[in-house]
């Protein structure tokens, strides 16, 4: 169960290939992933299962802490215990509150083999989490070269990927309601198992992030309105009816009447559009390389390169 939810390093292509299904739908698929180290191994899965099962115990602890309205300091203690019992980190070896960035201490940092995996920003248990709560931690992580930040009040857990650039940005990879979720839920496993001591690696987290980015509503909207899909829609309409449809008309129809405006406008929509464009360029680049490799034969003894024979010449 865990193995198929944890994303492993792909062999070869690191992007999703996109194809249309019907006029207003698109199928997103990728090459199947190779299993991560340990995935598929009984002892590995049993270890992760055993850790995640501890969440049931902490649901009771969190519920009582919520009723008592415990302070931020007490919430940090509970979060530290969850990192240890549910994610498999040694709280005396791997979790520290002594990491300082620009003279300010991060609430918690998870460090394994002298490498910081992620920072944890903790708020008091009854404080509603907001984006501005994580801004400072994102800035700290960017300055320290740390890719991942967790924002939590014990009840809700948000996992962010730091987007290095100008300005520094973030992407919400997953959000878990710990109090009302089962440790057997797919979302819980996909998020916490990848974040755990056994499952965390640069490649698995990158693949986990890529899947989240390309399958969120903004990215799917960006795919639907991309030139590649619009052209496929035009061809499909022509194939079915013989009618040629204007490209501008289809773009307007998709953006104004089929896809919600909120999904094609705004900051998140623009970021998704740029991401899809990057993947399309990568796909075009690979196709070009493959075409060049297939069209040119190895040099003969006289040093001249011959083009591959055409289909008619070959026959």
pLDDT tens-digit map of 51-72: 888 899 999 999 999 999 999 9
The domain in which residue 223 lies consists of: 218-288
Verify that 241 and 139 share a domain, yes or no. no
Verify that 67 and 189 share a domain, yes or no. yes
Please, are residues 119 and 91 in contact by the beta-carbon 8 Å criterion? no
Tally of domains in the chain:
2
> How much is the pLDDT for 39?
43
Beta bridge partners of 18: 28
Mean pLDDT value of segment 128-154:
90
Mean pLDDT value of segment 155-167:
88
Verify that 166 and 258 share a domain, yes or no. no
Verify that 65 and 162 share a domain, yes or no. yes
> How much is the pLDDT for 298?
52
Verify that 238 and 124 share a domain, yes or no. no
Verify that 226 and 95 share a domain, yes or no. no
Residue 130, SS3? coil
315 vs 200: which has the higher pLDDT: 200
Please, are residues 62 and 155 in contact by the beta-carbon 8 Å criterion? yes
Mean of pLDDT over the chain: 78
Beta bridge partners of 115: 112
Verify that 191 and 259 share a domain, yes or no. no
Buried (b) or exposed (e) across 177-187, using 16+ Cβ within 10 A? ebbebebebee
Distance CA 70, CA 75 (A): 7
Distance CA 53, CA 41 (A): 18
The verdict on residue 208 lying in a domain is no
Q: pLDDT band at residue 95, thresholds of 50, 70 and 90? A: very high
309 vs 225: which has the higher pLDDT: 225
Please, are residues 54 and 171 in contact by the beta-carbon 8 Å criterion? no
- Is residue 93 pLDDT above 70, yes or no? yes
Mean pLDDT value of segment 222-250:
90
The verdict on residue 269 lying in a domain is yes
**Type and span of the H or E element at 150:** strand 148-152
Q: How far is CA 47 from the centre of its chain?
A: 24
Verify that 195 and 222 share a domain, yes or no. no
For the chain, the straight-line distance linking the first and the last C-alpha, in angstroms and rounded, comes to 50
HSE of 289, CA atoms in CB hemisphere, 13 A: 7
- Is residue 78 pLDDT above 90, yes or no? yes
Backbone angles phi, psi at 149, to 5 degrees: -135, 135
- Is residue 8 pLDDT above 50, yes or no? no
Verify that 172 and 44 share a domain, yes or no. yes
Q: pLDDT band at residue 46, thresholds of 50, 70 and 90? A: confident
Cα Rg for the chain, rounded, in angstroms? 24
Please, are residues 259 and 221 in contact by the beta-carbon 8 Å criterion? yes
Verify that 139 and 72 share a domain, yes or no. yes
Verify that 186 and 53 share a domain, yes or no. yes
> How much is the pLDDT for 312?
43
Mean pLDDT: which of 96-100, 240-244, 274-278 is highest?
240-244
Distance CA 103, CA 89 (A): 26
Report which of 120, 60, 115, 131 is spatially closest to residue 84, judged by C-alpha positions.
120
Q: How far is CA 299 from the centre of its chain?
A: 44
Please, are residues 157 and 150 in contact by the beta-carbon 8 Å criterion? yes
> How much is the pLDDT for 295?
65
The verdict on residue 253 lying in a domain is yes
> How much is the pLDDT for 89?
94
37 vs 284: which has the higher pLDDT: 284
- Is residue 284 pLDDT above 80, yes or no? yes
Q: Residue with structure tokens 């199928």?
A: 27
pTM of the predicted model, to two decimals? 0.65
- Is residue 109 pLDDT above 50, yes or no? yes
> How much is the pLDDT for 241?
92
Backbone angles phi, psi at 95, to 5 degrees: -115, 130
Q: Is 204 left (phi over 0), alpha (psi -120 to 50) or beta?
A: alpha
Q: pLDDT band at residue 136, thresholds of 50, 70 and 90? A: confident
């Amino acid at each position: 169960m865990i193995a198929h939810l944890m994303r492993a390093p792909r062999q070869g292509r690191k992007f999703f290939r996109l194809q249309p299904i019907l006029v207003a739908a698109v199928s997103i698929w990728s090459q199947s992933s190779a299993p991560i180290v340990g995935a598929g191994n009984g002892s590995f899965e049993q270890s992760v299962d055993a850790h995640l099962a501890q969440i049931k115990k902490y649901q009771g602890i969190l519920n009582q802490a919520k009723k008592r309205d415990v302070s931020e300091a007490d919430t940090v203690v509970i979060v530290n215990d969850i990192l240890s019992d549910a994610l498999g980190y040694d709280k005396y070896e791997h979790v520290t509150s002594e990491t300082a960035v620009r003279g300010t201490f991060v609430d918690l940092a998870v460090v394994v083999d002298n490498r910081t995996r992620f920072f944890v920003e903790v708020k008091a248990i009854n404080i509603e989490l907001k984006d501005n709560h994580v801004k400072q931690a994102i800035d700290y992580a960017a300055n320290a070269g740390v890719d991942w930040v967790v924002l939590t009040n014990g009840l809700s857990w948000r996992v962010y990927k730091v987007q290095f650039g100008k300005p520094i940005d973030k992407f919400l990879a997953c959000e878990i309601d710990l109090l009302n979720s089962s440790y057997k839920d797919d979302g819980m496993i996909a998020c916490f198992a990848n974040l755990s001591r056994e499952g965390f690696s640069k490649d698995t987290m990158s693949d986990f992030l890529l899947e989240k980015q390309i399958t969120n509503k903004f990215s799917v909207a960006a795919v639907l309105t991309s030139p590649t899909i619009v052209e496929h829609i035009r061809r499909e309409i022509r194939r079915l009816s013989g009618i040629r449809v204007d490209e501008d008309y289809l773009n307007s129809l998709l953006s104004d009447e089929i896809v919600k405006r909120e999904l094609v406008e705004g900051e998140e929509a623009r970021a998704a559009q740029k991401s899809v464009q990057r993947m399309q360029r990568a796909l075009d680049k690979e196709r070009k390389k493959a075409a060049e490799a297939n069209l040119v034969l190895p040099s003969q003894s006289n040093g001249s390169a011959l083009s591959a024979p055409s289909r008619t010449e070959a026959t």
